Amino acid sequence: MVIIMKANASQEDINEIVKAIEKYGLKPHISKGEEQSIIGVIGDRRSLGDISFDHLAGVEKVVPIIKPYKLVGREIKKYNTEIDINGVVIGGNKIAVIAGPCAIENKEMLMEAAHALSSIGIKILRGGAFKPRTSPYSFQGLGVKGLEYLREAGDKYGMRVVTEVLDPRDAGVVAEYADIIQIGTRNMQNFRLLEEAGRMNKPILLKRGMSATIKEFLMSAEYIMAQGNEKIILCERGIRTFETESRNSLDITSVPLLKLFTHLPVIVDPSHAAGRIDIINPISRAAVAAGADGLMIEVHPHPENALCDGPQSLRPEMMTGLLKEISLIANAINRTL
């Protein structure tokens, strides 16, 4: 931690701060500048707990220097975490592709989607049973009935299944049916839900909040890992900006940054970033080229009838072309699909 003093801070101000630092068993290093002084604080800042120095007289600002996350950081683990979901690995050399409808609307539609997707080689099926909708009047999902359909589809077509949990009270039932449990954008800082996820024995797919910084995203993963669950898949899904042509702006920069900062796998959801199907292919290629370990794509057998996210859902037959494009990009960086 570095404490930067105001230009007009007095020697007494500095003495007070030195005293405060030493009280916590840390060692201050003072550098007196011509205009301003700075005080470096040596020792594990974490021993300070939450104490803040911003409020002391003469302090201009406090600059933390140690990263706030530990368990998810590259410093603690150099090599990539690979997550094995009954033989399907996320975070290894192969690019993982997750696909399926936004919401499970009924059994027939889900089976149709699963059939189509499994027949072109997709191994992980997504589908929402509990849906976080902006409006209370929108379709909220089929709940446990949806989970049953999803499990049945997964079993019938040999696919792993991923679905979202919204409520810590549903954690048990969701874990019973799902292979991967998603925590959505709107719940990225639902800390009790994160803790619940941390106590599960299932991989967690954590989506970035729509205006979360990369640091906050990693801190939310840290919440999960601090409870003992090390199987976390991070998912960039676009951030909120001023642009309105796309639903969100895919923060492609976050992909290599996350790969620098953390050992966890990073996937990309181009569907929610784009909000429209006509650019799904190029941004999917970009995501893989940037180093993403996988993609999560919304696919609906009949998007025109979708109860949710129709405008951004591909038809299953569009997936064939997309997979081919992604495969070529993957090969160009020595990875495979």
In degrees and rounded to multiples of 5, residue 315 shows phi and psi of: -80, 150
Q: Which is nearer to its own copies, 74 or 88 (CB)?
A: 74
Task: Please report whether residue 76 would count as binding its own copies according to CB under 8 A.
Answer: no
Task: Please report whether residue 50 would count as binding its own copies according to CB under 8 A.
Answer: yes
Kindly state the tokens that stand for 160: 């792993």
Q: Which is nearer to its own copies, 156 or 215 (CB)?
A: 215
Q: Which is nearer to its own copies, 178 or 193 (CB)?
A: 193
Q: Which is nearer to its own copies, 88 or 175 (CB)?
A: 175
Rounded to an integer, what distance in angstroms lies between the CA atom of residue 171 and that of residue 177? 10
- In this chain, which of 119, 253, 320, 336 binds its own copies, going by CB under 8 A? 253
Q: Which is nearer to its own copies, 64 or 121 (CB)?
A: 64
Instruction: Tell me which residues in 6-35 interact with its own copies (CB under 8 A).
Output: 7, 20, 29-35
- In this chain, which of 285, 294, 301, 319 binds its own copies, going by CB under 8 A? 285
Task: Please report whether residue 213 would count as binding its own copies according to CB under 8 A.
Answer: yes
Task: Please report whether residue 239 would count as binding its own copies according to CB under 8 A.
Answer: yes
Give the binding range for its own copies (CB under 8 A) out of 84-92, 119-127, 147-155, 306-314: 306-314
Of 125, 78, 65, 135, residue with least CA distance to 97: 125
Kindly state the tokens that stand for 283: 């941004």
Task: Kindly compute the dihedral angle of the four CA atoms of residues 251, 257, 258, 261, in this order, to the nearest 10 degrees.
Answer: -160
Task: Please report whether residue 199 would count as binding its own copies according to CB under 8 A.
Answer: no
Rounded to an integer, what distance in angstroms lies between the CA atom of residue 334 and that of residue 325? 14
Rounded to an integer, what distance in angstroms lies between the CA atom of residue 48 and that of residue 50? 6
Task: Please report whether residue 290 would count as binding its own copies according to CB under 8 A.
Answer: yes
Question: For the window 104-143, what string marks contact with its own copies as x by the rule CB under 8 A?
Answer: ----------------------------xxxxxxxx----
Place of tokens 């784009």: 274
Q: For residue 96, give every residue at least 6 positions away whose Cβ sits within 8 Å of its Cβ, in sequence order, or none.
A: 88, 89, 90, 123, 124, 267, 293, 294, 295
Min dist CB 288 to its own copies, Å, is: 7
The strand pairing partners of 207, in sequence order, are 235
# residues near its own copies by CB under 8 A? 110
> What angle (nearest 5°) sits at the alpha carbon of residue 183, between those of residues 179 and 186?
160
Task: Please report whether residue 242 would count as binding its own copies according to CB under 8 A.
Answer: yes
Min dist CB 264 to its own copies, Å, is: 16
Task: Kindly compute the dihedral angle of the four CA atoms of residues 126, 82, 250, 271, in this order, to the nearest 10 degrees.
Answer: -20
Q: Which is nearer to its own copies, 114 or 329 (CB)?
A: 329
Taking the chain, what is the end-to-end CA distance rounded to the nearest angstrom? 44
Residues in the chain: 337
- In this chain, which of 164, 222, 293, 298 binds its own copies, going by CB under 8 A? 222
Task: Please report whether residue 299 would count as binding its own copies according to CB under 8 A.
Answer: no
Task: Please report whether residue 162 would count as binding its own copies according to CB under 8 A.
Answer: no
